[in-house]
Amino acid sequence: MIYEIAQLTIKEGEEAAFEAGARKAVPLFQRAKGCHGMRVERSIETPSAYTLIVTWETVEDHMVHFRNSADFQEWRGLVGGTFAAPPQVHHTSVAFVGF
Amino acid sequence: MIYEIAQLTIKEGEEAAFEAGARKAVPLFQRAKGCHGMRVERSIETPSAYTLIVTWETVEDHMVHFRNSADFQEWRGLVGGTFAAPPQVHHTSVAFVGF
C-alpha cells in the first residue's frame, strides 16, 4: 500500500467550496481500482493549504488507472476551480511506524 | 488531535543511519507530553525525502513542551547529523475523512 500526497493551495475564500467538492468526490475514490482510503488535512499555519492523502495499492493505480479515468476528470471538475496553483503530488510508503 | 508534518531531506547515503536514529528515538516521543503516535514515510520519487508524522494533542505540546525538552536535543542528536537541510515543519488537522 502506498500514499498519494497532494499538496493543494486553495484560492482565498474558496476553502468551503473546496471542502464541499472534495466531500462530493468521495464516491469517485471509493470506486477507483486499488483505492483504499481518502482523507483531507488542513494546515494550521496556512489555512488555505490542504493535503489530500489517498491510499492506493500501487502508484500505477493512481497515476495510470485513475488519472486516465473519467472519474479523474469529474474530480478535477468538482475541485479544480478552487485551486490557486497546480497540485504538488508525490507518493510515499511507510518506512516504519514507531507507535 | 493534530499532526506535526516534518519534511526531512537526508544526505545521500545517510538514509539507513537516519532510519536507525529515528527508530532509536521512538521512546522519546512515547514519553513526550501529549504525544499519541509517530511514524516515518519515505518518498517513492525522491528516496532521500522523508516525512515524519507525529500525532500531538496540541501544537503547544510539540512546539513548546517538546521543543524545549532535553528529549528534543536527544532527538536531534540521533538524527540531525543526517539532515541535508533544515526540516520544514507544519501542523495539520483533519478536515474530513472520506473513507
What are the start-end ranges of the E strands in B1-99? Answer: 2-9, 35-43, 49-56, 88-97
In a domain, B98, yes or no: no
Give the H or E element holding residue A59: helix A59-60
In a domain, B44, yes or no: yes
pLDDT in tens, B14-43: 999 999 999 999 999 999 999 999 999 999
Q: Which residues of B touch A41 (CB under 8 A)?
A: 3, 92-95
C-alpha B44/C-alpha A82 separation (Å) is 28
CB contact (8 A) between residue B96 and residue A44: no
In a domain, B26, yes or no: yes
Contact by Cβ (8 Å): B26, A99: yes
In a domain, A92, yes or no: no
Task: Among A37, A92, A94, select the one facing B99 at the smallest CB separation.
Answer: A37
Digitized pLDDT (tens) for each residue of chain A, 99 residues in all: 999 999 999 999 999 999 999 999 999 999 999 999 999 999 999 999 999 999 999 999 999 999 999 999 999 999 999 999 999 999 999 999 999
CB contact (8 A) between residue B5 and residue A96: no
In a domain, A33, yes or no: yes
Q: Which domain holds residue B28?
A: 12-86
Is ipTM > 0.85 here?
yes
Helices (H), B3-98: 15-24, 26-30, 59-60, 70-79
Among chain B residues, CA nearest to A89: B45
**Reported pTM:** 0.96
In a domain, A74, yes or no: yes
C-alpha A76/C-alpha A67 separation (Å) is 10
pLDDT band per the 50, 70, 90 thresholds, residue B54: very high
Q: Residue A20 is part of a domain; what is its CATH number?
A: 3.30.70.100
Looking at the structure of chain A, the number of domains it has is 1
In a domain, B28, yes or no: yes
CA distance to partner chain B, nearest, from residue A97 (Å): 4
Task: Among B23, B49, B95, select the one facing A50 at the smallest CB separation.
Answer: B95
How many A×B Cβ pairs under 8 Å?
106
Task: Among B2, B41, B95, select the one facing A95 at the smallest CB separation.
Answer: B41
Among chain B residues, CA nearest to A58: B44
pLDDT at B86 (0 to 100): 97
Compute the 3-state secondary structure of chain A and give helix, strand, coil in percent, each to the nearest 5: 35, 35, 25
In a domain, B2, yes or no: no
pLDDT at A49 (0 to 100): 98
pLDDT at A63 (0 to 100): 98
Q: Which residues of B touch A25 (CB under 8 A)?
A: 98
Q: Which residues of A touch B95 (CB under 8 A)?
A: 19, 22, 39-42, 50
From A60, A68, A67, select the one nearest A34 (Cα to Cα): A60
